[in-house]
Amino acid sequence: MALSGKTAVVTGAAMGIGQAITEKLLHNGAKVVLLDVNESAAKTLVENLSKQYGQDRTLFLSCNVESEEQLKAAFEKTVDTFGGIDILCNNAGILNENEWEKSVSINLLGVIRGTYVALQHMNKLSGGRGGVVVNTASMAGLGPLITCPVYTATKHGVVGFTRAMAGASAASGYGIRFNVICPSFVQTEFLSDPNSKMGQFSHLADVIEQMISKAGTLNVSDVAESVLEMVTDETKNGEALMIFSKGKHYVTFPSM
Ligand SMILES: NC(=O)C1=CN([C@@H]2O[C@H](COP(=O)(O)OP(=O)(O)OC[C@H]3O[C@@H](n4cnc5c(N)ncnc54)[C@H](O)[C@@H]3O)[C@@H](O)[C@H]2O)C=CC1
Ligand SMILES: CCCCCC(=O)/C=C/C=C\C=C\C=C\[C@@H](O)[C@@H](O)CCCC(=O)O
């Protein structure tokens, strides 16, 4: 898929991995609608991106992925502004084992909500142009992080949901590919003060510190490059891409 003239929606776009995905898509010719709850960070980012890429290539819409109403309004505004949606990156996520129900609502239900609302606009069977959805899971979506079991569950859910949607879309003729990225540790705000985010498991925080020192951390640009690969390579559907400091590897899942 060539990105020139295509429209992307990125959730959690105001900073970190979402910002890097946004910049990567813009640099490769797409228009990008940034959805986030952090209005100040997003507005500053869009101001800078507009100077670099032009006023008509970006749009920020305040949107909490926990709200179907806000997602519906954001996608409708996107279509009204840019004529359609070709790419969706469900990237927004949090780490909070204290408020674990909020983690589920954002990390897993937010991906499902975003996907189902976007389907109404992207599905070729309902007047859409088709396209691609790339969801942000984690290596914790493939194996357990013992310090954050609910976070682990949400990311496993994102992997499973994405792979099932890939199959459903192909079997139904929606014209939409679904893929998922599974990064290891990435140098963003997300990793700041992990102890405070692990709730009843904070006594295990040294496990994470040992894992990070062993695994190292990725740059956000490493992750964004992998998203670009899954967006542009039209052979990719139902793929999970592990991204770690030593490289990246498509996951081979057991077949039934
Ligand atoms: N940083 C890391 O080590 C890794 C992060 N990930 C995943 O990558 C994604 C992005 O994480 P980072 O960029 O590292 O985090 P970050 O904290 O730097 O950025 C997350 C962005 O999502 C936004 N956000 C949070 N809740 C939201 C909501 N309800 N609605 C809309 N936007 C919301 C935040 O305002 C922020 O702009 C998350 O899904 C995370 O689980 C996956 C693997 C590793
Ligand atoms: C503080 C939590 C980080 C949240 C951000 C994130 O999603 C990072 C994930 C990075 C790596 C996850 C790795 C999971 C590994 C498991 O599959 C298992 O192999 C762990 C084994 C630990 C060990 O080395 O013994």
Tokens 């609608």 sit on residue: 33
Which residue puts its alpha carbon closest to atom 9 of ligand 2?
Answer: 184
The whole-angstrom separation of Cα 70 and Cα 81 is 16
| Residue 145: predicted pLDDT | 96
| Residue 2: predicted pLDDT | 82
**193 or 81, which is more confident:** 81
Q: Do residues 49 and 13 touch, judged by C-beta distance below 8 A?
A: no
The whole-angstrom separation of Cα 107 and Cα 119 is 18
Q: Per the residue annotation, which of 116, 151, 174, 250 is the catalytic one?
A: 151
Lowest mean pLDDT among 25-29, 202-206, 221-225: 202-206
Both structure tokens of 85: 């949606």
The whole-angstrom separation of Cα 11 and Cα 13 is 5
| Ligand 1 mutation pick, 35, 117, 161, 188, max ligand atoms within 8 A of CB | 188
Please tell me the distance between residue 141's alpha carbon and the centre of ligand 1 in angstroms: 15
| Residue 39: predicted pLDDT | 98
Both structure tokens of 227: 């998203």
Beta-sheet pairing, 87-90 with 7-11: parallel
Residue-wise pLDDT tens digits, 75-125: 999 999 999 999 999 999 999 999 999 999 999 999 999 999 999 999 999
Q: Do residues 67 and 106 touch, judged by C-beta distance below 8 A?
A: no
Tokens 């674990």 sit on residue: 100
Closest CA to 92 of 32, 16, 143, 41: 16
| Ligand 1 mutation pick, 22, 36, 89, 221, max ligand atoms within 8 A of CB | 36
Please tell me the distance between residue 56's alpha carbon and the centre of ligand 1 in angstroms: 26
The whole-angstrom separation of Cα 229 and Cα 132 is 11
Closest CA to 207 of 162, 148, 248: 148
Report if pTM > 0.95: yes
Q: Which ligand is nearest to the CA of 197?
A: 2
Both structure tokens of 83: 């004529």
Q: Do residues 227 and 193 touch, judged by C-beta distance below 8 A?
A: no
| Residue 1: predicted pLDDT | 82
Residue-wise pLDDT tens digits, 220-250: 999 999 999 999 999 999 999 999 999 999 9
SS3 152: helix
Beta-sheet pairing, 240-244 with 247-250: antiparallel
| Residue 169: predicted pLDDT | 98
- 83 CB-near residues (< 8 Å, 6+ apart): 7
The whole-angstrom separation of Cα 128 and Cα 11 is 20
| Ligand 1 mutation pick, 19, 43, 67, 94, max ligand atoms within 8 A of CB | 94
Which residue puts its alpha carbon closest to atom 30 of ligand 1?
Answer: 64
Q: Which ligand is nearest to the CA of 39?
A: 1
Is position 53 annotated as part of the catalytic site?
no
The whole-angstrom separation of Cα 45 and Cα 153 is 31
Please tell me the distance between residue 119's alpha carbon and the centre of ligand 2 in angstroms: 31
Closest CA to 181 of 68, 21, 13: 21
Residue-wise pLDDT tens digits, 30-73: 999 999 999 999 999 999 999 999 999 999 999 999 999 999 99
Residue-wise pLDDT tens digits, 134-181: 999 999 999 999 999 999 999 999 999 999 999 999 999 999 999 999
C-beta 30 within 6 A of ligand 2: no
- Determine if residue 65 is left, alpha or beta; phi over 0 gives left, psi from -120 to 50 gives alpha, anything else beta: alpha
Atom of ligand 1 nearest to the CA of 220: 13
Which residue puts its alpha carbon closest to atom 24 of ligand 2?
Answer: 211
Q: Which ligand is nearest to the CA of 208?
A: 2
